[in-house]
Amino acid sequence: MSDPAPQGATGSWTPSRPLSVGVEEEFFVADGKTHELCDITPLLDSMAANRSRHGTEDYGTELRSCIIESRTAICWSLSGLRADLRTRRDALVRAATEAGCAIVAAGTYPSGDWRQVGFTPQPRFDHIAGTYARLAAEHLVCACQVHVGVEDRDTAVAVINRVRPWLPALLALAASSPFWTAEDTGYASYRTILWARWPMAGIPPTLSSYADYRARVRRFIDIGISADAGQLFWDVRPGTRYDTVEFRIADACTTVDEAVLQAGLSRALVHRCLTEIARGEPAPPADPELLVIAKWRAARFGLSGELVDPLTAELVPAAVLVDRFLDHVRGPLTDAGDWAETTGLVNRAFRRGNSADRQRRALTRSRRVADVVELLINETMATESR
């Protein structure tokens, strides 16, 4: 497949030029004593009352009234991103403590019940709830989105076409949603399965240009399936508010380490794609059926089983697929000085397991879902790598 012709600032991009990165994190808010999901209004009031300390402009509401989103600044290094993520989590935890709440980063809330949680009263959310009925009502999930700066929109589309085979590896590393309504689903990322039910979700099709993308968005709006471009829930897409490639495959990352790993790998992957485009290298073939199957297996097994390599159509251990991913982005990681940190984080992920693995171990130890929630609260607010 040939790529769209690059234009503008990114068209003159060179491998030595750093790429910006930013992260949006979604968190569940729970009562500090009962650990039942609760409305975020007391938390927002606490933040508003201490605006100078909490920086409320960097936080936002989501579809469900028990979820809050945090947004980092534009960062140029993983160390800067880590510090930003840590600062914003710390501010959120302080405000939550003052409001008698707790913060949890996970794709699903282990003991959460969608029937007990309302919608955030906003016109956009009202539209979603009214249009999708039970589908929207059951949508009680949190994600982590990574933005990598790519100014030219046609180039961003060309990058999106190329990153798709590696999305399953990113998902397996981030999987944090094994439980649904206090039951083990058998999946490492049940959030992925819930998302897949939406008609405008999933791995994006091969796009010919940014105009092609815009035409699809307009078509979805015209036929009433989407309210706006932000409601195109692809696993990777052109940023709707920023000139970025936006990765949306990951569950909410329980630890700062896991969020940094997603950002580092995503940025390196975009860097590798931009280098290939600049060299005129053809995009690798990506079979749509294999992409869907590979994503499903990553959601099902995470790091604990065999995954599909969409480029070779092989079933391989998760560690092999992740190693192939690291080999693919070794150059950009090395150039950015991120190789040692990223490989260290990957090794830690396999040694400790992803969040889904750790949650299941916690349940095995005590047989109490409440202890899984306690683990997530502690890991979400942890200030150091473990």
**Annotated domain spans of the chain:** 8-381
Q: How far apart are CA 362 and CA 9, in angstroms?
A: 49
User: According to the model, what pLDDT value does residue 359 have?
Assistant: 98
Residue 229: what pLDDT?
82
Q: Which residues of the chain have pLDDT under 50?
A: 1-2, 5-11, 54-56, 385-386
The reported pLDDT for the residue numbered 127 is 85
**Whole-prediction pTM value?**
0.94
Q: What is the full DSSP assignment across 52-120?
A: HHH-GGGEEE-SBTTEEEEE---BSSHHHHHHHHHHHHHHHHHHHHHTTEEEE-SSS-TT--GGG--B-
Instruction: State the DSSP string of 344-379.
Output: HHHHHHHHH--HHHHHHHHHHHHS-HHHHHHHHHHH
- CA-CA distance, 303 to 189, in Å (whole number)? 11
For residue 179, give the 3-state DSSP assignment.
Answer: strand
Across-strand partners of 30? 37, 102
Residue 39, phi then psi, degrees to nearest 5? -65, 145
- Which tokens in the block code for residue 165? 């085979």
Mean pLDDT, the chain, rounded, equals 92
Q: Span 8-381: which CATH code?
A: 3.30.590.20
Among residues 222, 148, 140, 214, which one has the least CA distance to residue 182? 140
| pLDDT attached to residue 124 | 87
pLDDT for the residue numbered 16: 63
DSSP state of 241: S
User: How far is it, in rounded angstroms, from Cα 306 to Cα 312?
Assistant: 14
Task: Give the residue from 256, 252, 322, 218 showing the smallest Cα distance to 89.
Answer: 256
Q: Is 298 exposed, middle or buried (0-12, 13-18, 19+ CB in 10 A)?
A: buried
From the number of C-beta atoms within 10 Å of its C-beta (0-12, 13-18, 19+), residue 7 rates as middle
Which residue in the block uniquely carries the two structure tokens 């490639």? 245
Bridge partners of residue 103, in order along the sequence: 29
pLDDT at 143: 98
Burial class (CB within 10 angstroms; exposed 0-12, middle 13-18, buried 19+) of 32:
middle
C-beta atoms surrounding 228 within 10 Å: 12
Residue 9: its pLDDT value, please?
A: 36
- Location of structure tokens 């590979």: 294
Cα–Cα distance measured from residue 379 to residue 382, given in angstroms and rounded to the nearest whole number:
5
Encoding tokens for residue 46?
Answer: 């606490």
Q: Among the residues of 133-255, which ranges form H helices? A: 134-137, 153-163, 167-174, 190-195, 210-222
Identify the pLDDT of residue 286.
Answer: 87
